[in-house]
């Protein structure tokens, strides 16, 4: 291995560059591990200092450059590495050319550095060198529903030497800021045993409330440890001092010791992760989704309001259309009556003209009959022609009336179709 001093030499930031002029000590051939050992023995920082005289500080100088003897006469033989850290990274991560030789060099170099007190962890190996927590999630069993044991709730003995104690409502009132839902007391052959329990809601919030009460006792030095080892039964002034702590399965077995089966306090042991941690995580997710639901509800309310306004406007337009349709029908009826009146006037005038025409035609007929008595056949033809013309006139009048009635029916159908479309639109809006 060869090294060169930092002053006045060409440097490489990690790693490659042309080989600067310097002293090469103990050059190693590509296959001889003993030569590697010789190179380590002759390690030097510059051409003016022997390798055995190197100190740990000089070896770890960041500006010093190192040459890899395992790469001699091969690819990478001209590379120089700035600082021992960069050099160690090279020989410990080389995996393509002469990997076994580099591995052996790394082991020998580690031994040499340890001997000289210059042990160095290269960059890239400082990760994953610490041991953290166990990957398995730590879990334990808790009492469910959450409960807090309250001790020293006895008060005095009665005339039968039975102990009396705190009442249920009185216990709840003492700790009303912690939202307990129920309270129970333990009784034995001698009456009140001085052991009570506060029962909280069967939820993660209920457990947190119970834990908060327990920690309150703990901060005041009135927890389980104080009760078991040095209980303070009386407060200065003569009042009994209450103690409290989270209930365990053993505590509740003691609580139920003298209770009949159907009066025993019911509980179960459950997973803390399942009942508390998972519920809190779900509550956190729900809280994060709450703004989204609020926006969604607000949007639905705006849509509902817009639909109500649109329905009101459409209803108003529908009423106007109904009124307009009634007006149109009234105008059509007036027009029809006027038209019929005009037809009657025209018919009366025509009848008058026919009456006026009939008299001269009868006189003319009589004149023709008298003057042309020999032409009876022609008279019959004239009479037939007159009757034919009268029938033709009646037929034309009937066709004209029929055409008028058909046009009127078409107009009624169009009006009814428009009205049906408006009614269908209104029913669709109501459904929306």
- pLDDT by residue (tens digit) across 318-328? 887 777 665 55
For the entire predicted model, the pTM comes to 0.45
Buried b (16+ CB within 10 A) or exposed e, 65-82: bbbbbbbbeeebeebbbb
| Residue in 174, 177, 194, 176 with CA at minimum distance from that of residue 185 | 194
Q: Encode pLDDT of 257-306 as tens digits.
A: 888 888 889 999 999 988 998 889 888 888 888 888 888 898 888 888 88
- In a 13 Å sphere around the CA of 363, the CA atoms on its Cβ side amount to 5
Task: Say whether pLDDT at 26 is over 70.
Answer: no
Average pLDDT of the chain, as a whole number: 75
pLDDT at 212: 94
In whole angstroms, give the CA distance from residue 6 to residue 18.
15
Buried b (16+ CB within 10 A) or exposed e, 325-361: eeeeeeeeeeeeeeeeeeeeeeeeeeeeeeeeeeeee
Q: Give the contacts of 240 (CB within 8 A, at least 6 positions apart).
A: 152, 153, 154, 155, 233, 234
Task: Say whether pLDDT at 141 is over 70.
Answer: yes
Q: Encode pLDDT of 378-395 as tens digits.
A: 667 777 888 888 888 888
pLDDT at 328: 52
In whole angstroms, give the CA distance from residue 109 to residue 90.
12
Whether the upstream peptide bond of residue 177 has omega within 30° of 0, thus cis, is no
Task: Say whether pLDDT at 25 is over 50.
Answer: no
| Residue corresponding to tokens 């210059």 | 118
């Amino acid at each position: 291995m060869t090294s060169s001093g930092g002053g006045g030499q060409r440097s490489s930031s990690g790693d490659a560059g042309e080989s600067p002029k310097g002293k090469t000590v103990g050059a190693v051939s590509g296959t001889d591990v003993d030569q590697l050992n010789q190179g380590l023995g002759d390690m030097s920082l510059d051409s003016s200092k022997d390798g055995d005289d190197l100190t740990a500080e000089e070896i770890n100088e960041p500006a010093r450059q190192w040459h890899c003897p395992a790469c001699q006469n091969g690819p990478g033989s001209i590379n120089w590495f700035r600082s021992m850290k960069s050099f160690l990274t090279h020989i410990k991560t080389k995996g393509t050319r002469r990997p076994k030789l580099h591995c052996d060099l790394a082991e020998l170099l580690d031994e040499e550095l340890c001997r000289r007190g210059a042990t160095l962890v290269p960059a890239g190996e400082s990760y994953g060198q610490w041991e953290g927590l166990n990957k398995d999630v730590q879990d334990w069993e808790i009492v469910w529903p959450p409960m807090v044991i309250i001790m020293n709730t006895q008060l005095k003995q009665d005339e039968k030497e039975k102990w009396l104690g705190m009442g249920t409502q009185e216990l709840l009132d003492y700790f009303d800021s912690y939202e307990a839902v129920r309270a129970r007391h333990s009784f034995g052959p001698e009456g009140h045993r001085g052991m009570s329990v506060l029962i909280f809601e069967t939820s993660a919030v209920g457990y947190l409330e119970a834990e908060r009460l327990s920690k309150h006792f703990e901060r005041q030095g009135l927890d389980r440890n104080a009760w078991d080892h040095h209980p303070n039964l009386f407060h200065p002034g003569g009042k009994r001092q209450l103690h409290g702590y989270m209930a365990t399965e053993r505590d509740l077995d003691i609580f139920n010791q003298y209770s009949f089966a159907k009066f025993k306090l019911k509980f179960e042991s459950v997973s803390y992760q399942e009942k508390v941690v998972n519920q809190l995580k779900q509550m956190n997710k729900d809280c994060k989704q709450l703004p989204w639901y609020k926006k969604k509800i607000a949007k639905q309310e705006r849509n509902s309001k817009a639909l109500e306004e649109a329905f009101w406007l459409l209803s108003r337009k529908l009423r106007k259309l109904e009124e307009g349709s009634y007006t149109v029908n009234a105008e059509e009826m007036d027009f029809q009556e006027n038209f019929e009146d005009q037809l009657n006037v025209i018919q009366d005038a025509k009848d008058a003209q026919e009456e006026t025409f009939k008299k001269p035609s009868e006189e003319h007929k009589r004149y023709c009959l008298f003057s042309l008595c020999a032409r009876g056949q022609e008279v019959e033809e004239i009479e037939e022609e007159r009757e034919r013309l009268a029938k033709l006139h009646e037929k034309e009048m009937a066709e004209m009336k029929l055409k008028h009635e058909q046009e009127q029916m078409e107009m009624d159908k169009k009006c009814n179709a428009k009205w049906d479309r408006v009614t269908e639109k209104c029913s669709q809006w109501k459904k929306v």
